[in-house]
Structure 1
Amino acid sequence: MNNRRSFFRKSAAIGLGAFGVNSLFNELHAADFEEAEKLWDAGSGSNEDYWSVIQDAYSASKSEIIILNNGGVSPSPLVVQEALEKYNKQAAQGPSYYMWRVMDKGREPLRQRLAKLAGCDAEEIAINRNATEALNTIIFGLPLQKGDEIIGTIQDYPNMIQAYKQRQMRDGVVYKQLSFDFPIENDEQIVKAFADAVTPRTKIIHVTHIINWVGQIMPVKKICQMAHAKGIEVVVDGAHTFGLLDYAIPDLECDYYGTSLHKFLSAPVGSGMMWIKKDKIEKIWPLLCNSVPQGKDIRKFETLGTRSFCIEQAIGEAINFQEGIGTKRKQERIHFLKKYWAEQALQIPGVRIHTSLKPEYSCAIAGVSIDGMKPEELDSKLFKDYKIHTVGINWENIHAVRVTPHVYTKISDLDRLVGALETIAKKA
């Protein structure tokens, strides 16, 4: 708490834009957040007076619809919206000047702050547009040869699956997929499944940190330790964990990592980040051209041509907002919200939860279904009759409606969800 209060007072005394004393966060939220700290009852994830201040910082908390698909993309708080608007208006006065000669100078301070949040070296961070771009850069940049094997799962994100399948078609690598029946509350069962699939030709294991369909947290560190003992590298899809779970990327012990910043960090839509362990950078080819494609500089992956520097710079205010709450506190709150509605839903006859409610195995995302209803039918009814926005999932062996709250989600929103499930289940 003392560190957070110090952040409010100092808030990066040097730097550009979001990282200076005149940041929009300082202007709009710092005083309110500091006052909110006085409302905080240490150890309580359900301190509603504190969280009401956070909720008010999001325009989405006042939406006509209840947004419970934050696993797809999260809305930004007001400070990030205003930052993006400010930068867009500035750029519109002369894009070639303001973007290339002013805003572009903000990338290095942004890289430093992202690295601090990620607990890693800034020279291992590349800023891009989303997890798909980050991970596809890695997947297509790996120096794999015909016959080399990659192990993933059928529950991985489709864009990563398709990337590996394209490498299989183009280069003759062997792409193998495991299948799991989630929820699983046994790390060793998952690690063993990967270990049993390893052969002398295995070069890469791909792990989705949180399975986006139903929210299972995979034991990434244990998988990495097993893989490294066998001389295998690990690619981690962190799209649903960065800004949500309290961890440092190097602590996962992976080799490659990609994430989207427009999910739980609540940065602008179209912002992402890639991390590559420093001694691996040289061997990864950039997805797009660079003058030194086999160089050791992480910036070789940022040769994207003209893109929105406005979006990049607004990420800074999302970092300020994140630090104003604290990642650990945020993780505990969002897990509390998931558990709050899911435990009640479990008591409703005909309702099933497809996700563990233990914090070591899940956090924000949970899958729910009602006997006799298809996921898309339940999803449609929740929105049509109750204005609750979720998403129906039919992917391989997973058939459920995905529900994902965020810090701006109100308890009353979740009470409405539980009431809706109860009413729908009685009529099913």
Structure 2
Amino acid sequence: MTQPRRDFVKQATVSATAIGAAAVGLGTPLLAASSPAATAPPALPAPLAGPLAQVAQDEAYWTTVAAQYPVTDAVINLEAGYFGIMAAPVLAAYHRHVDRVNRESSYFARRAYTPILMQARDAVAQFVGAMPTEIVLSRGATETLQALITQYRGVQAGDTVMYADLDYNAMQWAMNALAASRGAQVARLAIPEPATRENILAAYAKALDAHPRTKLLLLTHCNNKTGLIIPVKEIAALAKARGADVVVDAAHSFGQVPLSMDALGADFVGLNLHKWIGAPVGAGAMYIREGRLDAIDRMHADEAAPLTRIESRLHTGTTNFATVMAIPDAIAFQQSIGMPQKAARLRYLRDRWVHAVRDVPGVQILTPEDPALVGAITSFRLHGRGTRAANDAAAKTLLDEFGIFTFQRTGLANGDCVRVTPTLFNTPAQLDKLAAALRTMAARG
């Protein structure tokens, strides 16, 4: 980490603590349209200290955390990977922001919003260990990554762009579009099942060696299909040694596991804030490492910002003011729990159901036990059935018969699967119910 980056992170950490104390407001009454008489949830105590394995199982503490989430009891929701709901204090802050924007209108937008936007950007930068000038806010990781990919300047006719089966479909399409627009080739690889750190690295090294003109490699840190976390920094080093840049999709890892830009080792990263950070829907960020702006064209020849500023690489138009205003609230809430503690709790919930069914005949778990390769998300197949129909049916059975909401995922080289994504409002008992349901379903053949 460079000295300017260290100085900024140190300064921003102090200011973020102050912002968090003022902005999160853990005692703020819950504002929920479906429950007008709701009272405030219990305030969170300080982040738990001690060995993370013990912290993850402190049910008294995590019950208090779960109480911060106003969730429906109509189903057991194990599909947190789509978007993460706002915790009660963030939701209350968001409502206040909506009221202020609506009340002050263009006077607010013209005169007060820009410093608030910069504060939100700075909060994201501090959280991921970046310089503020390396971050610009977006409406989500898809918007960010489409811009980074399609505006990448380093691909020419005859070159190759590369991605894997586990990469997000919309990002694969963006890579296809980049190749088509430049007269380049597309190379695809399949990440092994079962995956290990060694065979993942070997698969990427083999693919890169087979395609020596690869100029851009898409990497998904934690993919949305199985939840596998790949060793991005090591793969990025392999690519850079062969003359290729990497663009990293960190939509699911940001807020699910501890994350920093230095730890990823990539120059171009897309982040999501409405999944695991718990900001309102429609919040994301773009990261371009200092000194690499020239590799990305400005968006639509945008002249609103100088070429020397990252803002010229992403023009979203008028943003949702209240959504942006709630970003520091969401980050402060996550920091009030602690990212190592949160990651440990998510992994504990994942292990709770996976360890109960991993050896059950007919249940195929698609993520390994290596703690560096998995967080909360894990997918399964029943009896090796990889068709879309079979996995749609499995998810439907879980919902209709057992009251458990999951979701089918497609695009894997070895077939479709069902994704299970617990989060902070879920309980061990709910994961036990999932395990029991899977044992029953597997026994049916």
Task: Determine the C-alpha separation between the residues in 1 that align with 2:361 and 2:148.
Answer: 46
Task: Identify the residue that residue 16 of structure 1 maps to in structure 2.
Answer: none
The 3 A distance-change label for structure 1 pair 322 and 150 is: same
Task: Identify the residue that residue 184 of structure 2 maps to in structure 1.
Answer: 173
Q: CA deviation at 1:304?
A: 1.8
Task: Identify the residue that residue 206 of structure 2 maps to in structure 1.
Answer: 196
TM alignment of 1:204-219, pairs within 5 A: 204-219=216-231
* SS of residue paired to 2:114: helix
Q: CA deviation at 1:57?
A: 0.5
Task: Determine the C-alpha separation between the residues in 1 that align with 2:321 and 2:64.
Answer: 30
Q: CA deviation at 1:245?
A: 1.3
* SS of residue paired to 1:112: helix
Q: Which whole-Å deviations, capped at 9, do the CAs of 1:184-205 have from their partners, x for residues lacking one?
A: 11x2322232222334422111
Task: Identify the residue that residue 223 of structure 1 maps to in structure 2.
Answer: 235
The 3 A distance-change label for structure 1 pair 96 and 195 is: same
Task: Determine the C-alpha separation between the residues in 2 that align with 1:43 and 1:388.
Answer: 26
Task: Determine the C-alpha separation between the residues in 2 that align with 1:121 and 1:418.
Answer: 44
* SS of residue paired to 2:22: coil
Q: CA deviation at 1:69?
A: 0.9
- Structure 1 residue 113 corresponds to structure 2 residue 123: yes
8 A Cα contact 1:11 1:26, kept in partner = no
Task: Identify the residue that residue 386 of structure 1 maps to in structure 2.
Answer: 402
8 A Cα contact 1:129 1:271, kept in partner = yes
Q: Structure 1: 5+ residue runs without aligned partners?
A: 1-6, 14-18
The 3 A distance-change label for structure 1 pair 56 and 10 is: farther
Task: Identify the residue that residue 85 of structure 1 maps to in structure 2.
Answer: 95
Q: Which whole-Å deviations, capped at 9, do the CAs of 1:366-409 have from their partners, x for residues lacking one?
A: 11222286111010011112221100123242322100111221
TM alignment of 1:151-300, pairs within 5 A: 151-185=162-196, 187-198=197-208, 199-291=211-303, 295-300=307-312
- Structure 1 residue 401 corresponds to structure 2 residue 418: yes
8 A Cα contact 2:42 2:64, kept in partner = no
The 3 A distance-change label for structure 1 pair 80 and 123 is: same
Task: Identify the residue that residue 427 of structure 1 maps to in structure 2.
Answer: 444
Task: Identify the residue that residue 85 of structure 2 maps to in structure 1.
Answer: 75
* SS of residue paired to 2:44: helix
**Number of residue pairs the alignment of both structures matches:** 414
TM alignment of 1:78-157, pairs within 5 A: 78-143=88-153, 144-157=155-168
Identity %: 29
Task: Determine the C-alpha separation between the residues in 2 that align with 1:317 and 1:323.
Answer: 10
Task: Determine the C-alpha separation between the residues in 1 that align with 2:186 and 2:14.
Answer: 52
8 A Cα contact 1:8 1:30, kept in partner = no
Q: Which whole-Å deviations, capped at 9, do the CAs of 1:25-73 have from their partners, x for residues lacking one?
A: 35449982226748x776412111111111001112x532111111121
* SS of residue paired to 2:340: helix
Amino acid at match of 1:282: D
Amino acid at match of 1:299: E
Amino acid at match of 1:129: R
Task: Identify the residue that residue 329 of structure 2 maps to in structure 1.
Answer: 317
**TM-score, with normalisation over the residues of structure 2?**
0.86
Task: Identify the residue that residue 46 of structure 1 maps to in structure 2.
Answer: 57
Task: Identify the residue that residue 22 of structure 2 maps to in structure 1.
Answer: 22
Greater shift in the superposed pair: 189-198 or 49-58: 189-198
Amino acid at match of 1:390: T
Amino acid at match of 2:25: F
Q: CA deviation at 1:11?
A: 6.2
Task: Determine the C-alpha separation between the residues in 1 that align with 2:25 and 2:190.
Answer: 44
Q: Which runs of 4+ in 1 moved over 4 A?
A: 7-11, 35-38, 40-43
Task: Determine the C-alpha separation between the residues in 2 that align with 1:20 and 1:372.
Answer: 47
* SS of residue paired to 1:244: coil
8 A Cα contact 1:265 1:318, kept in partner = yes
Amino acid at match of 1:114: V
Amino acid at match of 2:173: Q
* SS of residue paired to 1:329: helix
Amino acid at match of 1:184: A
Amino acid at match of 2:393: E
Task: Determine the C-alpha separation between the residues in 1 that align with 2:314 and 2:105.
Answer: 19
The 3 A distance-change label for structure 1 pair 366 and 12 is: closer
Q: Which whole-Å deviations, capped at 9, do the CAs of 1:268-315 have from their partners, x for residues lacking one?
A: 111111111111113311334521677121222343221201111111
8 A Cα contact 1:285 1:293, kept in partner = no
Task: Identify the residue that residue 32 of structure 2 maps to in structure 1.
Answer: none
8 A Cα contact 1:8 1:31, kept in partner = no
Task: Determine the C-alpha separation between the residues in 2 that align with 1:318 and 1:175.
Answer: 38
The 3 A distance-change label for structure 1 pair 8 and 119 is: closer
Task: Identify the residue that residue 343 of structure 1 maps to in structure 2.
Answer: 355
Task: Identify the residue that residue 341 of structure 2 maps to in structure 1.
Answer: 329
Amino acid at match of 2:85: P
8 A Cα contact 1:283 1:294, kept in partner = no
8 A Cα contact 1:126 1:299, kept in partner = yes
Amino acid at match of 2:248: V
The 3 A distance-change label for structure 1 pair 360 and 270 is: same
**TM-score, with normalisation over the residues of structure 1?**
0.90
The 3 A distance-change label for structure 1 pair 395 and 10 is: closer
Amino acid at match of 1:245: V
TM alignment of 1:410-421, pairs within 5 A: 410-421=427-438
Task: Determine the C-alpha separation between the residues in 2 that align with 1:194 and 1:371.
Answer: 29
